[in-house]
A and B are shown apart, each in its own frame.
Chain A
Amino acid sequence: MKPIAILKAVAFAAALGPAAALVYGFYTQDLTANPGDYITDQTGWWALAFLVISLSVTPLRRLTKWNELIRLRRMLGLFSFFYATLHMLTWVVFIHFFDVKFMLADVAEKPYITVGMATFLILLALALTSNRFAIRKLGRRWQKLHRLVYIAAVGGVIHFWWQVKADITEPRRWAVGVAILLGFRLWWNWRSRVSVAVQRRREPV
């Protein structure tokens, strides 16, 4: 097996770890006095974590020049969607128990829920179009659509930040992480534009 295939298999198994820990903790009754909230918090945390990890694939690839890393990106993004789906389901089932009226009111009235739901819908759209068929079908528009992941990352951080009562230490950490990853892209983009311009100037008239 090629190193990248091994890495991918290891990453896949590791990414299931948090879900397995929740299942195990649930059966051993070890998820605090408030297992419902604990599951909501953990799944939300890992959704954001995998989103950020998937966003760091490209910078890492450029820094290490190990281009095959790109083969991890879709899987990592889908794990973010997987945990986001569980996270959203805890809200549907634990908090509202399928009561549509309460859910709509929540989305309409609570800004952190509005942002969270919008973020989830972005991830849903990206997950649905992550297969080969959609990539081929969408052509150039695919990349444009998938740039929404930047908005999803910002949305995820805002959603986290706005539901904290007083201690913003953690969401601030994520905000810094996302800012660095998006900043890297801005910088890269700017640099390549400059170098293109420089090259043009050098070309004989």
Chain B
Amino acid sequence: MVIKKASDVRSSEITPKGVYLRRREFLQASAVAMAAAGFGAWAGVGEAQTTRTKLKGPIKKSSFSTTEKVNLYEHVTGYNNFYEFGTGKDEPKVNARNFKTTPWTLEVEGEVAKPAKYALEDFIKPYALEERIYRMRCVEAWSMVIPWVGIPLKDVIDRVQPTGKAQFVEFLTLHDVARMPMQRTGVLDWPYIEGLRLDEARHPLALLAVGIYDEVLPPQNGAPIRLVVPWKYGFKGGKSIVKMRFVEKQPRNTWQVMQASEYGFYANVNPNVDHPRWSQARERRLPDLLATTRTQMFNGYAEVASLYSGMDLRKNY
């Protein structure tokens, strides 16, 4: 397997982990200090402070990780598309801050030998956590580099044993109007549904993330468990997953239902196939001002190309 290394990033540009961790401690300390000084109210400090918890247990490094510069924690957790908590990028951080993710049940159903309901802890327990530093390319032509922590989707699938009929796997996000305020509106069809072909889901790059920066996944990033498929546009990564359903037929994913001419089922990152409203040839690596970074086929994860050999990716966008 070819593992691409981003040799064009100087190691001096990469924030060493110790530094970004210390920076955060500093920010938190100053937030506390400012709140104590009575500035909290008007500065908005503390309005979206969720408790941050280190993940328990060892976290393996992975050779799939990129060496590119990781985005700041504040950017990854403060700029989110999570319509269940608001359509503005800064809204999920605020609106999801009291989102309770314990207890959490995840159900596996459909064409599997072992359909079951799991408490999230039990679902994750059999696997070792891995850090996967991936590029994330949004369909809106921006990208970030995010240090996810999670478990390979492939291992989960092997354990639940899909039957011979299973061709696809669907991921359903929680549908609970009381906890996800925007589900009161019809801005999207709820629950949010995403899906993968079974062989895509079994690709070693596909990840079920439960954390970022070695910490428990914050609500605005899809807590407690979300899908990460780095060679596809970000919207393929279903968040706050409550159900995995193995099916025979290709599912209709939410954005496809919303606007089929703009969002397809495959949604592979592809600089040669434009979205009707955005060119996908280039992207903005946040927080850059210039959107002139060239977008790479499959977001630079060329090893997935064999999944699509013989397919017309213009039609199957």
Contact = CB atoms under 8 A, between A and B. Distances in A.
A32 B144 CA distance: 13
B189 to A, nearest CB: 10
Is chain B's interface secondary structure helix, strand, loop, or mixed overall?
loop
Given A33-B75, A33-B78, A97 B89 contact: no
B137 interface: no
B21 interface: no
A177 interface: no
B289 A105 contact: no
A36 B187 contact: no
Contacts of A34: 79, 89, 142, 284, 286-287
Contacts of A106: 279
Interface residues of B, number: 31
A112 interface: yes
A62 interface: no
A97 B282 CA distance: 11
B26 to A, nearest CB: 15
Nearest to B87: A167
B287 A35 contact: yes
Q: Binding site of A, secondary structure by majority: helix, strand, loop or mixed?
A: helix
A163 interface: yes
Nearest to B258: A166
Interface of B: 71-72, 74-76, 78-79, 83, 87, 89-90, 140, 142, 144, 187-188, 258, 274, 276-279, 281, 284, 286-292
12 contacts: A32-B78, A33-B72, A33-B75, A34-B284, A36-B284, A36-B290, A36-B291, A94-B289, A97-B290, A102-B279, A166-B87, A167-B83
Given A93-B290, A110-B276, A167-B187, 12 more contacts: A32-B78, A32-B90, A33-B72, A33-B286, A34-B89, A36-B284, A36-B288, A97-B290, A97-B292, A102-B281, A165-B140, A167-B87
